[in-house]
Amino acid sequence: MKIGKIIAGAILAAGVVTTVSAADGATIFKRCIVCHGKSAEKVPPGGSIVSATLSAEEIKESLRLYKTDKSHGGKMKVSMQAQMKTLSEEDIDAVADYIFTNFHIAK
């Protein structure tokens, strides 16, 4: 019973740390690099669009759709949906603005 409380406390503390560092686009983007590349320059597995070619608003819209619309996305949409579960609206804005500001590639 005591171990369960310790584990629950650790999980809660981790959530608080995540919330405190929330809305840091650079930190959030580190989770994206594996599939999207260091500069959001890669087409992700199962995807068809390079994120760096999108406007900040297009990125925000797509990320919000992954969070709310289970039919949105390509073959790997389940992976993106799982990532979006942990992001707040503020986080989504921050990471989209970070990608656009730092890596945008004109179409």
Residue 56's domain is classified under what CATH number? 1.10.760.10
Answer for the pair 22, 90: CB distance below 8 angstroms, yes or no: yes
Q: What is the pLDDT along the chain (107 residues), one digit of tens a residue?
A: 455 444 544 444 445 444 444 489 999 999 999 999 999 999 999 999 999 999 999 999 999 999 999 999 999 899 999 999 999 999 999 999 999 999 999 98
**11 domain-assigned:** no
- Whether 17 is covered by a domain: the verdict is no
The two structure tokens encoding residue 95: 């990471």
What b/e sequence results for 89-98 when a residue is b if at least 16 CB atoms lie within 10 Å of its CB, and e otherwise?
A: eebbbbbbbb
Number of domains in the chain: 1
Residue 79 inside a domain? The answer is: yes
Q: Is residue 34 part of a domain?
A: yes
Residue 2 in any domain: the answer is no
Determine, yes or no, domain membership for 16.
no
Domain enclosing residue 99, as ranges: 23-103
Is 43 part of any domain? yes
Task: Return the pLDDT at 33.
Answer: 98
